[in-house]
């Protein structure tokens, strides 16, 4: 976030830029091939609001969640859509899906399941540095598939620090281990719809604008292979190329394994959390078949949704008792006081803006403009776009990057002879490849805040990680996405 006079300038730049857009845009635009698109007042206003929000999101001149409230505040007042339509995006079913992901994260932390999981793994991998880094990456990525990458990093960083102790402050192993936690948290988030905000935004865009459903299983068929390719590639790069980790170096794992977490009996709340978590995930994966179950010719679960499954699981955590006499349940409402409500509002703002862009035809106008780009082979254009997204997400939040670019690129894709669905999924995956800068993503910032990683260390390792991300996303985009989505 910028401060001082630059923040004041950014605050002014947002609405000032919006006014210039309304005043200076031409009445019509042409793609040079005879297609002419008119810019009516509604189109101008929506494009102005989009620029306003982009400026405030990129600069973080004001809290991002507050910026996300602009559509619900301005669209009805300016006569673009009724209030009910603008507000509907803030209660989108997939927002509830992400909300439940936060609740599951809270339950897992409350009952110490993440540390137990890590202790169990570390007991198996031993003291070999390369295997330890690999073990941490697997655990962190797996947790990040189901929990937010921020929560995952917060959970795993103390575990990593306890292993390092006080004698590994500047070693290559310390740098490698801590960076592996940050990077694998970002990589793991690519695996599921709820893993990271861009995934959820793109799935919502598919449903609302393109009229196609991207369910939990469909996304996993794309995201899990992406994680399965990028995670081992990142491990090899970090442990064999970027850092030198001699096999003879002994690392103390007693800091966590010695706490007895592996052997200690799992508490009732932890057992219930595991059961609910497993049941919800299984139901998400098998929902297409569950919805088709017929009883006496009736399909009672035909309208079952991923969000509905998630909410049933979340509600059960507040209903199943741990100690009835004391009135304790698996989750109590005070446990949720740190729930990131701002992130949920941010989703709603992005979806509301995307819907307005689509309704007013602003996406067609932007698409016509982009069609004037140099005539390059489609695959080259796609890889350039993915590379630009990776660079941009180093400077802005991944959800701000996605919410700003997806409506624009979706409109431009047909004119660029690029598959729309493939392109915007690749953009969502690329938005998670923020590996270079401490400010790029919360996992980077959290690990940098430990004081054991310098910005130069992160930037040096992050360049190679960004290249790996570009390669893997290209392979997934052209090798897998068309098979799964179509």
Task: Give pLDDT tens digits for 44-103.
Answer: 899 899 889 888 877 778 888 899 899 999 999 999 989 998 998 898 887 887 788 778
138-144-150 Cα angle (round to 5) = 125
Task: Return d(Cα 202, Cα 205) in angstroms, integer.
Answer: 5
Q: Which residue has the tokens 């729309």?
A: 420
Confidence of residue 163 (pLDDT cuts 50, 70, 90): confident
Contact in structure between 71 and 113 (CB atoms under 8 Å):
no
The b/e string for 181-213 (b: 16+ C-beta within 10 A; e otherwise) is bbbbbbbbbbbbbbbbbbbbbbbbbbbbbeeee
Q: In angstroms, what is the C-alpha Rg of the chain?
A: 23
Higher pLDDT, 303 or 396: 303
What is the average pLDDT value for the chain, to the nearest integer? 83
Strand partners, 38: 28
Q: Are 104 and 274 in contact (CB under 8 A)?
A: no
Which CA distances in Å does 225 have to 179, 362, 384, 479?
22, 35, 22, 11
- Residue 32 pLDDT: 53
Q: Is the pTM value of this prediction over 0.75?
A: no
Residues in the chain, total: 486
Q: Are 97 and 148 in contact (CB under 8 A)?
A: no
Token readout for 370 is 């982009």
Q: What does the domain layout of the chain look like in residue ranges?
A: 1-82+343-349, 94-336
Which residues are paired to 28 by β-bridges? 38
Q: Are 480 and 225 in contact (CB under 8 A)?
A: yes
Q: Which residues contact 141 (CB under 8 A, 6 or more apart)?
A: 184, 185, 187, 188, 191, 227, 231
- What percent of the chain has a predicted confidence (pLDDT) above 70? 89
Model confidence pLDDT, tens digit, residues 424-483: 999 999 999 989 877 677 788 788 877 788 878 888 999 999 999 999 999 999 999 999
Q: Which of 206-210, 236-240, 397-401 has the highest mean pLDDT?
A: 236-240
pLDDT recorded at residue 180? 95
Q: How many CB atoms lie within 10 A of CB 250?
A: 9
Split at pLDDT 50, 70, 90, the class of 345 is confident
């Amino acid at each position: 976030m910028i401060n001082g006079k630059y923040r004041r300038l950014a605050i002014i730049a947002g609405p000032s830029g919006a006014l210039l857009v309304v005043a200076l845009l031409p009445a019509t635009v042409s793609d040079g091939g005879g297609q002419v698109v008119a810019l009516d007042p509604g189109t101008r206003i929506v494009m102005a609001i989009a620029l306003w929000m982009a400026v405030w999101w990129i600069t973080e001149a004001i809290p991002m969640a507050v910026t996300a409230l602009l559509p619900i505040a301005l669209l009805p007042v300016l006569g673009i859509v009724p209030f009910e339509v603008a507000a509907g995006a803030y209660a989108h079913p997939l927002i509830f899906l992400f909300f439940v992901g936060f609740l599951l994260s809270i339950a897992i932390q409350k009952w110490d399941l993440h540390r137990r999981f890590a202790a169990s793994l570390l007991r198996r991998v031993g003291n070999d540095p390369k295997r330890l880094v690999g073990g941490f990456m697997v655990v962190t990525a797996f947790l990040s598939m189901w929990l937010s990458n921020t929560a995952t990093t917060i959970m795993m960083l103390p575990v990593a620090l306890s292993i390092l102790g006080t004698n590994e402050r500047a070693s290559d192993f310390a740098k490698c281990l801590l960076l592996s936690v940050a990077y694998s948290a970002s990589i793991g988030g690519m695996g599921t719809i709820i893993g990271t905000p861009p995934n959820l935004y793109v799935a919502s865009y598919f449903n609302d604008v393109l009229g196609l459903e991207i369910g939990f299983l469909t996304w996993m068929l794309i995201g899990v292979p992406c994680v399965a390719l990028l995670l081992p590639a990142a491990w090899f790069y970090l442990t064999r190329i970027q850092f030198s980790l001699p096999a003879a170096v002994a690392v103390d794992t007693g800091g966590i394994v010695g706490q007895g977490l592996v052997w200690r009996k799992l508490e009732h709340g932890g057992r219930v959390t595991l059961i609910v978590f497993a049941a919800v995930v299984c139901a998400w994966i098998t929902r297409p078949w569950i919805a088709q179950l017929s009883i006496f010719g009736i399909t009672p679960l035909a309208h079952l949704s991923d969000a509905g499954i998630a909410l049933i699981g979340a509600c059960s955590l507040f209903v199943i008792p741990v100690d009835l006499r004391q009135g304790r349940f698996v989750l109590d409402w005070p446990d949720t006081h740190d729930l990131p409500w701002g992130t949920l509002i941010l989703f709603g703002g992005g979806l509301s803006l995307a819907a307005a862009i689509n309704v007013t035809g602003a996406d067609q106008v932007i698409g016509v403009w982009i069609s004037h780009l140099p005539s390059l082979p489609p695959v080259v254009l796609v890889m350039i776009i993915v590379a630009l997204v990776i660079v941009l997400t180093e400077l802005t939040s991944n959800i701000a990057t996605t919410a700003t670019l997806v409506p624009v690129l979706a409109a431009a894709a047909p004119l660029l002879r690029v598959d729309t669905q493939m392109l915007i999924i690749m953009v969502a995956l690329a938005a998670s490849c923020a590996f270079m800068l401490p400010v790029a993503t919360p996992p980077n910032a959290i690990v940098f805040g430990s004081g054991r990683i310098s910005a130069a260390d992160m930037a040096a390792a992050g360049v190679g990680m960004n290249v790996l991300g570009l390669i893997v996303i290209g392979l997934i985009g052209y090798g897998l996405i068309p098979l799964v989505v179509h």
